[in-house]
Chain A
């Protein structure tokens, strides 16, 4: 019998998922196992954008998780969002980042900072999967130091004219709408940054080179070129100079998505390692009976659990309208480091087989690495956390 202590108020935070969260997790887990995972290796090889996965996600409502129902969303909370992204990532990391970008970096900033007209025009088409969205902050010369961006915007009558080059745009190859940042004047630093909603067909907008990457290879990541790109003034998101605020607010939420993706990749590593090490025989017994292998499995499991708890706490704070910047950074940092370690140890558990493309763990290993880089490198997360610790945030 399990002991229960006499219960006194107040009751602490709940570690049990709600009915709806459990149903969501079961549904997306089934989708990941039976639909996404069987296709993942081929998409990784071909680098083609997984339109069939995207269509299936749209039908299930996974492209409008947090959006209100009148905009075609499911009106679910941030905990639902991280559960869904984790499970998708367990099946296919590329598909997970596609969904994370659409939900977290496109739907949300348009919803939060957009005009009623902008919301009505774009969000229903994004939630239904009719169009794909992308988010574009990074430039060849400005990554972590986003304020140093060189892409310029200038107002000319009823439009803005944008010039510059953006890189590493997830979903870029497939997207029809882009949230793009540009500065009115680099000398204005963060106060000069503006966010724009740019459609693929705007004059002067070109999708550039498709990046051949180590991991998340089917995420349609590419360059964008803005050559006197004409953006109607009504496509400014927020006000002039709001861009940096929008970028930061969006990335706090985005980090939840990447933490979830990282945990999904780590879980896939653990799942495969558990299965393999119980089957693989050396010295006359399954290698899972050796303590050195057990130690790897245990490390993975404990880190995954800790990462998930950090992440669910950050989502919990966000759903209650509380500040969650530090907690999101902690979750993203720990989850991405967990994914990378899990990738390394999963390959080790499989030995020579793990190093081949006949087994999925080398893909997990490659996919894990990006989670330490995008939406704030591990170094940037440490900076954010340190600022909070030192009272500088």
Chain B
């Protein structure tokens, strides 16, 4: 089974994010970047499927040259191949532009199963996976939990409100993966050394038969801002019973959380 995992490089969830002064977006210089955590769950799921059923795992990313770092991580934990689509025209594109690019790349890469994280941590839009599935006309299950491969089909369990849904989906198919208990394994030293000898294929838009116009953004972020600063806490003085009563009143009437 040929599995392709689409991964995105995002700011580390522990990085201190700064908005650009007077412009949209965030300052990316000097902050630690990593593979989006949901993509890590997708990659771990792919590696487990490969261990059980054989085949190959390819990691695919759209991004600047620096995004090679996440592909290297993928190779070090056990992916067989890596592909980076990088092009100056992709700077500032939107989810649709990325989906157009990934769909074109996937047409050149043989695949039985394509996995995404359910969304990229950071902007959290969750647009790209479904759009790619639509463009390639592949069956798509979102927010997959447990995955199993049986008789040429995927069995997928997904959590829903108060229960679980069980799907069976014929291959080729596309899934977006939710957080599960199976965290991405760490790269062993041998894996890190082995990654050196696995090449990263680099494609530009023209390699995919695309032009800048094909990925021109149709959405524009008009403004990015930090959440408001959290105010200081308040201590309710007085005798316990009265204080508790006052706390409940404030939570209900002012904070409106209960």
Contacts and interface: CB of A to CB of B under 8 A. Distances in A.
Interface of A: 19-20, 23-24, 27, 30-31, 59-62, 64-65, 69, 74-76, 80, 84
Contacts of B213: none
B32 to A, nearest CB: 9
Contacts, number: 43
B186 A20 contact: no
Interface in B168-219: 186-193, 195-196
24 contacts: A19-B72, A20-B192, A20-B193, A20-B195, A23-B73, A23-B76, A23-B192, A24-B189, A27-B76, A27-B186, A27-B192, A31-B186, A60-B188, A61-B188, A61-B190, A61-B191, A62-B189, A64-B189, A74-B189, A74-B190, A74-B192, A75-B193, A76-B189, A84-B189
Given A27-B187, A27-B192, 20 more contacts: A20-B192, A20-B195, A23-B73, A23-B187, A24-B192, A27-B76, A27-B186, A59-B188, A60-B189, A61-B188, A64-B189, A65-B189, A74-B188, A74-B190, A74-B192, A74-B193, A75-B193, A76-B192, A76-B193, A84-B189
A64 B188 CA distance: 11
A274 to B, nearest CB: 14
Interface string B47-80: 0000000000000000000000000110010000
Contacts of A75: 193
A27 B186 CA distance: 7
B60 to A, nearest CB: 19
Nearest to B187: A27
A241 to B, nearest CB: 36
Report whether over half of chain A's contact residues are helix, strand or loop; otherwise say mixed: helix
Contacts of B189: 24, 60-62, 64-65, 74, 76, 80, 84
Interface string B80-100: 000000000000000000000
A27 B76 CA distance: 10
Contacts of A74: 188-190, 192-193
4 tightest A-B CB contacts, nearest first: A61-B189, A74-B189, A61-B188, A23-B192
A340 B73 CA distance: 36
B186 A60 contact: yes
A61 B193 CA distance: 11
B190 A20 contact: no
A220 B28 CA distance: 46
B12 to A, nearest CB: 10
Contacts of A30: 186
A19 B66 CA distance: 12
A306 B108 CA distance: 50
Nearest to B193: A74
A31 B192 CA distance: 15
A74 B72 CA distance: 17
Contacts of B72: 19, 23
Contacts of B188: 59-61, 74
Contacts of A24: 189, 192
B185 to A, nearest CB: 9
Nearest to A24: B192
> Which of A61, A69, A75 counts the most B-chain CB atoms under 10 A from its CB?
A61
A76 B190 CA distance: 9
A315 to B, nearest CB: 16
Nearest to A20: B192
B61 to A, nearest CB: 16
B187 A20 contact: no
A245 B192 CA distance: 34
B82 to A, nearest CB: 13
A24 B190 CA distance: 10
A392 B190 CA distance: 42
A69 B190 contact: yes
Nearest to A58: B188
Nearest to A35: B186
> Which of B72, B187, B195 counts the most A-chain CB atoms under 10 A from its CB?
B187
